Structure 1
Amino acid sequence: MFAYKTAVAVKTLGYRNIKIYNGGIKDWQKSGLALESIHPLPAIDTAFIAADTLKQTIEDAQAKGCIDRHGEPLVTLLDLRNENFLRPDSRPPSILSTCRTQTLLLDDLRNPDVRASIPRHGLVVTITETGNRDTYVMRYLSQFGFSNVKGLQFGMRSWIKLGYPTAAPSRAD
């Protein structure tokens, strides 16, 4: 669905030579086709947090004002869903939390100032639509010393499927 939405969004900009590769990079790799990376990501053990565990973690953090006794954030949500930016009129629902949430594109993480804004203490949870890109985000951030990052298992879809609280879509900035 993401590839389709992206293709439609790009076509509205006037491009006509857009094709969608169904299956993504994982299927490409499984089929034995060659992959090359200019800067390979480090191989690390990645961790995911289930939606029910994240919900409890957020509730516990909110009960403490979202910060620890040293003033550091207990939990930070990194919403990396492209859908946040593809539709200029609205954003998709997000996890309802009073704790810190940053809405970014994956490419934003290349900016040292953006990376500097991500806390080094407390839990940082990456949120993508299905959870498929979280491993790459965790591996990318690890090369800059981040060790406190987990991905939301099965992404935002798992949160919504369980009926957990979401913030209503907001108007784009």
Structure 2
Amino acid sequence: MDIETECLKEMQFVAKGNASQSKGTAIQEFYRDCNVFVTGGTGFMGKVLIEKLLRSCPDIERIFIVVRPKKGKTVEERKEKLLNCVIFDVLRASRPEFQKQLVMVKGDCSLPKLGLSNSDYEILIQKVNIIFHLAATVRFDEKFNIAIPINIGGTKEIIDLCRACVKLKVGLHL
């Protein structure tokens, strides 16, 4: 078993203890009816964030996740892989409809306007309240021509998106 699977199983165990949390906390109220945009949502930290938001704040309206086609897999195939991850087992068992809250948006954080279509970018500008920017290459030996567009260019594009969003409450870069 790899370390990611082990960590996810541990978090799943902890999550079971919190699954019956009462509603109405300040955090739940903050996220109620909000639309969240996440970059890096298919990575380890992204999965943890998305699961925690969905489990702890069930009244989130939507979570938009930017996903790029990768290794010959389409956005839909990557969505299926994400949703089949062990970290979502508790949610699948307790609230299988959680999947309706997830909207995959085809894009690439290394490109201008995050590689989003004009219509998707406009939807985000009009609807998103909270942005979590987690996308990055974390390889320490990555070539500059790959690392700079993702890690620096992607952050610049997120800042531009934050400035354009009409309902933004929070933009967070991790």
TM-score scaled by length of structure 1: 0.37
Q: Structure 1 or 2: larger helix share?
A: 2
Larger Rg: 1
TM-score by length of 2: 0.37
